[in-house]
Amino acid sequence: MKHGKKYVDSAKLVDRTKLYDTAEALDLCLQTGKAKFDETVEVHVKLGVDSRHADQQVRGAIVLPNGTGKSVRVLAICKGDNVKAAEAAGADFVGAEEMVQKIQSEGWVDFDVLITTPDMMGLVGRLGKVLGPRGLMPNPKAGTVTPEIGKAIQEAKAGKIEYRLDKTNIIHCAIGKTSFGVEKLQENFDALLGAIVKAKPAAAKGQYIKSCVVATTMGPGVRMNPNKVALI
């Protein structure tokens, strides 16, 4: 695979044989962020679990202390008093049957998070084929199916992220932008890893955090020391 000159130059800064401490890894990661835009800083954590087993799933959500640096478009599907609560909380789109129809008939997905109330899941459940592959289907574990819709919308706007295992037992999450600086990124990183560690399944055996890599959108990965990360 061929890389551009900026990537190649950035990669020279990273010692591939070294496992960096968190602050050092984040600082190095920022040095490699050479794109002309404010790159996203991503964390990739490989866990010592098997996602094929229901009792070894790792999934949850957390509000990052410093947000993600991204403007989040929220769709709220609700009725009654919840409509006013959703609008007051800052939802970008609010509706019920008409929104479901728009998604079904037009394939409309111009939003980042869908939040709904439990009584609407019979309606929203019809959207699984459209929303599921895009990771937009609401879920109680992620806090996107809740009777407290106003609170959920505020949290989503404030920088709430969902973490979940993929098929290769890796969690991929954005923890901010390069403009945040090391201190804010570390606060977000510590919050995320702390949540992942607390979510360790009882059925998980052996080393829980196998590896941890941080990278900017266009930059090379920087490997962190998994033993120190696990102590968060």
pTM to 2 decimals?
0.83
pLDDT, tens digit, for every residue of 100-145? 999 999 999 999 999 999 999 999 999 999 999 998 999 998 899 9
Q: What percent of the chain has pLDDT over 90?
A: 80
Q: What is the pLDDT of residue 228?
A: 79
Residue 85's pLDDT is 97
Torsion, CA 146, CA 43, CA 201, CA 66, rounded to 10: -40
Query: Which amino acid does the sequence have at 58?
Result: V
* pLDDT for 154 beyond 70: yes
Q: Are 109 and 132 in contact (CB under 8 A)?
A: no
How does pLDDT run across 10-51, given as a tens digit for each residue?
A: 888 899 899 999 999 999 999 998 888 999 999 999 999 999
**Which pLDDT value is given to residue 180?**
96
Band of pLDDT at residue 232, cut at 50, 70 and 90:
low
> What pLDDT, on a 0 to 100 scale, did the predictor assign at position 230?
62
